[in-house]
Amino acid sequence: MQRISSGVDTIFLRLDPDYATLNEQLVALLEEGLDAHPEFRRSRHAVVHRIQPDAFVDRLFIKQFLLRDKWDYVKRFYRESRARRALITNGVIDRHGFRTEPVIALAEYRRFGVLEKSMLITREIEQVHEVRSVLRDPEYGLRADIPRRRRFIKALGQEIGAWHKAGFHHGDLRLSNLLVRLENGNCAFYWMDNERTRRYVALPLRHRSHNLMQIIMDPGVFSRTDAMRLWRSYKEAAGFHIEHEKAFLRKVIRHTQKRWRARNWL
């Protein structure tokens, strides 16, 4: 861990040794701040910048985690930063055979020794697309090519089923947080934004239903037939057999409709 001090501010930078040549550029970038670089994506909880520090280096994403509410001000005194938790979780995910964003560095800003913000620096994954776009946008051809769409939904259900079988619960499993690379009819999925991902010895039913609700909640993406096909492939991959299957599915649908009403989508 490299320590960079300037007055009352201290930056702690942990860089993957394979990217040691980027050290000076990253240090300068972090010291200058990211305000001069355009935002790639922003939410209430994080800001993402995309940069290319060197013509011979892959483009990088810098995700800055924002303080979400008043409790985050308290948690920063006794919990690890969200960026550090995401880094640790990504390592667990990798060890269980799932793909995720390749992290090259972790940066933490402290003022008077107190955590102010944290960042995760990752390498861009080439030729990947959001699952939401692949299912929804005409350019990918899955709206018109029904057999391909069925194969894709089956692969998606198998991936989520395997994820749950391994005990993982994703805290924000929107279709935009699951990326896919399409290769000769095969699908390679990448699990993103894992700072709230947790692994359980036995995944509770409420976490299964929560993730399934998050997957199908985007209106206009899944038809009823799509959703049932996703469920069948999920159930098979997860080794998931419950006595009251219909009651469980009704719960997922009820929670989905509740989200739709809250967003005035119904």
Same structural domain, 244 and 158: yes
Q: Global pTM?
A: 0.89
Same structural domain, 119 and 172: no
Rounded to whole angstroms, the Cα distance separating 131 from 136 reads 9
Q: How high is the pLDDT of residue 6?
A: 64
Same structural domain, 118 and 205: no
Q: Which of 102, 123, 144 is the last residue of a domain?
A: 123
In which domain, by residue range, is 104 found? 2-123
Q: Which of 93, 123, 153 is the last residue of a domain?
A: 123
Q: Residue 264: pLDDT band by 50, 70, 90 thresholds?
A: confident
Q: Which of 99, 123, 147 is the last residue of a domain?
A: 123
- DSSP H/E element including 161: helix 146-165
Q: What is the pLDDT of residues 136-151, one digit of tens each?
A: 998 888 888 999 999 9
Same structural domain, 139 and 215: yes
Same structural domain, 133 and 258: yes
- DSSP H/E element including 129: strand 129-130
Q: What is the pLDDT of residues 199-258, one digit of tens each?
A: 999 999 999 999 999 999 888 889 889 999 999 999 999 988 777 788 888 889 898 888
Same structural domain, 82 and 164: no
Same structural domain, 10 and 99: yes
Q: What is the pLDDT of residues 150-188, one digit of tens each?
A: 999 999 999 999 999 999 999 999 898 999 999 887 899
Do 240 and 231 form a contact (C-beta atoms < 8 A)?
no
Same structural domain, 191 and 215: yes
User: Has residue 73 got a pLDDT over 90?
Assistant: no
Same structural domain, 177 and 104: no
Q: How many domains does the chain have?
A: 2
Same structural domain, 253 and 149: yes
Same structural domain, 165 and 118: no
Which regions of the chain does DSSP assign to beta strands (E)? 2-6, 9-15, 39-42, 46-51, 60-65, 99-100, 103-111, 114-123, 129-130, 168-169, 178-183, 186-191, 198-199
Percent of the chain scoring above 70 in pLDDT: 93
Same structural domain, 103 and 138: no
